[in-house]
Structure 1
């Protein structure tokens, strides 16, 4: 893996250590539930209610430095997710220049190192670009104490695993923070052209190929869905195509991310309350952009093509009308039944483009339907598709990443509900209250050849957090970035 230095604005200096340095402002000590703590008298622990349960953080001032106790629950239940969550809570509870973090017994040291870095970076994130006199981050150094593991000088041993985990964690967490920055940016700032500028700059830094399509190119290429949605905005739509191309690729994957930089609903105008988070309707595109930003430095062995259709869905002099018929890239026609069901239209064009190079798999990610959030809540994303093997691979990648994904079906009999009297398909089934996440998935399936394994991630419920919760902070979560990277760094589950 190549060297990578995360932005100093979002990450402190990281070090592996045998013991806590005397200069550390505070020492973080994980505590198992039901086990005594040397730094805490039992009577005091009982008085303050600290028993090592998950989610508890207790700073204990002492001579020279503070001892920060963080509950990680029963010893038998310790895993990377628990430790990551604990470190995120520490990042918000303790404001000091430097930390020494003791890794707990029970996990491989490398697993603990990655969880500590991701937890502190993600939990300590704040979007302050538009704040007046926002304070600079105070934490500038973290020593992760792994003890005698560092006596191993062989990079193939435990010490080498820890160093690799430290580097990977910084890259992944920095990528998540990039996605969060994009999602949190107001829609008036992050227009399609502004998103293009960010993508272009990132591609140059990361060594990716980057191609930008303007409206004329889209018209020439027959992207009727993206152009149709973009008609309602004075700011023209754009399409970004990014490519990570290793010298000898082990396979190929295409990623597609929904990029509606602000969704007012078009002619099917949303009420104000439903419009409040619609600057985040490009969270899928943000996740894809952030994920591919990490691929070169992580030496991803696959060729990866990323397609980002970018547009606003607003209301101007000539928006797409309910009842209009659009012809999409695939040649299929779609009757517009709801101008606020726009995401599937722009994804359909991008999926058709992605399929034309016959990749080994296609994965799209989108804030697509409220129905997915109704079904799975605000902490679990939905996955659907035409390949059970790929869906399982996405689930397993999410589990390794510390994100939660659950499969939903695409029942073939439901396809009849997408029938139009005047076109090949409708984009929305008026009057249907149930199963609409599945109908959206079935609509997208029409634009992916059956021979290409495809998975669709609906992240509507998990793209934005209403409050701080573990490694998530209020605002954009960056959900999907780590899942996509984990998926791309593992062997393809669906060789063809």
Structure 2
């Protein structure tokens, strides 16, 4: 799908379909800024007349198609509802782009043109609106059908033209950035959607190597022997009953003039049965997505390798399968993590924090300004926050503010929970230093407290993405499956250090 900036007008462009918008009103009218009023004049006000006598009210995503009778070069005009003007946001712009694409394909259009107004609308610059719409077009076309025996030959838009008086560099950069973010989100979605027989720890490592090769990043893959040499006993405990060997993945993006060093750690459990603490059969198939943290980290690396923030970013991914069997670790076992803390296993289904414990300890050995981990960690996160929000826990308030600011700027969903130290005792009452589960109350917080014991004195944040890494509903922007949540906000976060 190509995106073009053109110094043209709607009535002269060669696109198959031209698009104008109307804000919601009792009597919606054509807008001057997007060329709608000029088109109406060419049609002797017949466009307004058609809208007046139709049920069109300008509600968000509402559409009205008008045949042009060759009065202009385009075959059809699509009038689309923009909703209430005061509620215009980046998400609504993404939805509008996805809806335009859907309507264009219904009409058999291959090319689409719409006007990009260069002045701000509300607080949104032309660049921000352009980026949101490009993402909407790309994400709205996402599908995961690689396992279909008969591939559908779905029609695709070939070009979207944004008509404007200027084609300045910042607009081209906005397109490139949007495409990079969409690439990252697409990769994350794909990885979450791939079944575990095709995404073992070894195959996840190969996916990481593909990212590194594409963008010339440093990559280092550890096998079981190297993990053992690094004394990552907690990591190894999770994998010891699986026929699939564990891996530890390290990717590095290095900036030319780095302003900071950031470590991203992603939980990579490629399938989680719960181990001896076996999960119920219903819904267990969803546990192919228990590597959502790893998928998110790889999606971020895919995006920033293209957008190039002025920060160094190291990605660490501990990966394993959690299976039952004669060699499985068991409830009641006590293991010693890489940092020498002992952990009593109350539930083998609380395995993700064991992988993260060793990975966080390893990342803490280096001079990172911040360490941030991502994990589909607790069932408590969606109970507390529903299906949209990532739960955020931090040991540094300034880091928390920066992350929340990036989520707000990109309109992604993140909510800060307290890292309440009084709850730490609930996982310290056994015969070991720590227990790997703390009961049903405040389980997202106690999981965060557990991880906090492995970051030394580093500034650290934990994101529990159990609620938002996948969805069981189809939408305009995302079909059922992996969502790619937080990739966009972390591109913003990493660029916030450099002002880019």
Q: TM-score, normalised by structure 1?
A: 0.90
Distance in 2 between residues matched to 1:92 and 1:280, nearest whole Å: 28
3-state SS of paired residue (1:212) = strand
Distance in 1 between residues matched to 2:170 and 2:203, nearest whole Å: 39
User: If you compute each CA radius of gyration, which structure gives the higher value, 1 or 2?
Assistant: 2
Q: What does residue range 5-44 of structure 1 map to in structure 2 within 5 Å?
A: 12-19=1-8, 20=10, 22-34=13-25, 35-37=28-30
Distance in 2 between residues matched to 1:225 and 1:89, nearest whole Å: 47
Distance in 1 between residues matched to 2:487 and 2:281, nearest whole Å: 29
Distance in 2 between residues matched to 1:136 and 1:182, nearest whole Å: 23
Change (3 A) 1:341 1:89: farther
3-state SS of paired residue (2:406) = helix
* Cα distance, 1:42 vs structure 2: 6.7
- 8 Å Cα contact 1:14/1:142 also seen in 2: yes
Change (3 A) 1:287 1:60: farther
Change (3 A) 1:230 1:54: same
Distance in 2 between residues matched to 1:345 and 1:231, nearest whole Å: 13
Is 1:84 aligned to 2:87, yes or no?
no
* Cα distance, 1:129 vs structure 2: 0.6
Change (3 A) 1:321 1:120: same
Stretches of 4+ moved more than 6 A in 1? Answer: none
Distance in 2 between residues matched to 1:110 and 1:87, nearest whole Å: 15
Q: Report what 2:208 is aligned to.
A: 199
For residues 421-450 of structure 1, the C-alpha deviation after alignment (integer angstroms, 9 at most, x for no partner) is 221111112xx332111111111111112x
The more displaced of 48-57 and 379-388 is 48-57
Of 97, 106, 111 in structure 2, the residue corresponding to residue 98 of structure 1 is 111
For residues 393-423 of structure 1, the C-alpha deviation after alignment (integer angstroms, 9 at most, x for no partner) is 1111122233111111111111010014221
Q: Report what 1:433 is aligned to.
A: 440
* Cα distance, 1:59 vs structure 2: 4.2
3-state SS of paired residue (2:367) = coil
Q: What does residue range 216-231 of structure 1 map to in structure 2 within 5 Å?
A: 216-231=225-240
- 8 Å Cα contact 1:97/1:140 also seen in 2: yes
For residues 346-393 of structure 1, the C-alpha deviation after alignment (integer angstroms, 9 at most, x for no partner) is 111111111110310011111111211111111121111101111111
Of 68, 87, 91 in structure 1, the residue corresponding to residue 78 of structure 2 is 68
Gaps of 5+ in 1: 1-11, 151-158
3-state SS of paired residue (1:271) = coil
Of 77, 97, 112 in structure 1, the residue corresponding to residue 129 of structure 2 is 112
Q: What does residue range 92-241 of structure 1 map to in structure 2 within 5 Å?
A: 92-95=102-105, 96-103=109-116, 106=121, 107-150=124-167, 159-241=168-250
Change (3 A) 1:417 1:23: same
Distance in 1 between residues matched to 2:446 and 2:385, nearest whole Å: 16
Q: Report what 2:451 is aligned to.
A: 444
- The root-mean-square deviation of aligned C-alpha atoms, in Å, is 2.1
3-state SS of paired residue (1:296) = helix
- 8 Å Cα contact 2:309/2:498 also seen in 1: no
- 8 Å Cα contact 1:268/1:338 also seen in 2: yes
- 8 Å Cα contact 1:109/1:146 also seen in 2: no
The more displaced of 63-72 and 325-334 is 63-72
* Cα distance, 1:277 vs structure 2: 1.5
* Cα distance, 1:50 vs structure 2: 3.1
Change (3 A) 1:93 1:473: farther
* Cα distance, 1:49 vs structure 2: 4.3
Of 472, 478, 495 in structure 2, the residue corresponding to residue 489 of structure 1 is 495
3-state SS of paired residue (1:262) = strand
Change (3 A) 1:216 1:144: same
Aligned length in residues: 471
3-state SS of paired residue (1:193) = helix
Of 375, 380, 383 in structure 2, the residue corresponding to residue 371 of structure 1 is 380
Q: Report what 1:308 is aligned to.
A: 317
Distance in 1 between residues matched to 2:151 and 2:309, nearest whole Å: 37
3-state SS of paired residue (1:115) = helix
Q: Report what 1:318 is aligned to.
A: 327
Gaps of 5+ in 2: 31-35, 41-45
Q: Report what 2:265 is aligned to.
A: 256
3-state SS of paired residue (2:197) = coil
For residues 176-234 of structure 1, the C-alpha deviation after alignment (integer angstroms, 9 at most, x for no partner) is 11111111101111111111111112101111100011111111111112111111211
Q: TM-score, normalised by structure 2?
A: 0.89
Change (3 A) 1:404 1:30: farther
